[in-house]
Amino acid sequence: MIGVVSLVAFAVSAFAQNSTDAVSSTGTTVVTTTTATATSAATTAGTSASSTSTVKSGDVCTTSDGGSISIITPLLNEVETAGGSLSITWSVLGYDYTFDSSKISFGVVDATNPDDAIPIANSYIVQNVTVSDGSAKGPVPSVLVSGKSYGVRSEYLDGSTWRYCYSPVFTVAGGSVASSTTKTAATASTISSSAQSVAGIAIAVSAVAALLF
């Protein structure tokens, strides 16, 4: 009987050790994968931005009376810091005097595909500035993901039609990370807890074996 109990204790202890080793390995993989993924994403975004000067989503910038703006900054491939300050400058084109004195807002769009930019909710940098001002400054939304390609989009209501103009493509550093990393880390934590439980069982079995001996 003692031999059987001791054998069980040994087997459980060995399983606990293997589980702990697996957790250590998984933890290392989480860190390595996160770093590699972030680097790869930044490289990919930079390559994409290099081949595209400005976000394009059709000619929806010019007003009905021929006015428009050309967004100069942020510059192509410029790296902005999430939560930091972003300076937007633009030149006013055409002779639409109503447009020149009107209010305009600037938000961020996902420019992963520059030909089909996607507006990002709650990502306004500045709102209701005068078109003729030619510049504005506001915070870079902290919800932006590091390494992705983004653009600035102006919004102007021309009668009943929205007019949108776009900036060159830029990227963000210091933003949020992909949710998959969080899930992986949570999985590693769960495995770690399981290993600790198994280790506890091994200790208890060994104690019983000692008492019987």
53-173 has which fold? Answer: Immunoglobulin-like (2.60.40)
- Stretch (H or E) spanning 47: helix 2-50
Q: What DSSP line would sit under 56-94, residue for residue?
A: -SSS--S-TTS-EEEEEESPTT-EEETTSEEEEEEEEES
Q: How many whole angstroms separate alpha carbon 145 and alpha carbon 153? A: 17
Instruction: Indicate yes or no: pTM above 0.95.
Output: no
Bridge partners, 106 (sequence order): 126, 154
List the pLDDT tens digit at each of the 213 positions of the chain.
Answer: 445 444 434 444 544 455 444 433 444 333 333 333 333 333 333 333 333 456 665 558 999 999 999 999 999 999 999 999 999 999 999 999 999 999 999 999 999 998 889 999 989 999 999 999 999 999 999 999 999 999 999 999 999 999 999 999 999 998 776 554 444 444 445 445 545 554 555 554 455 445 445
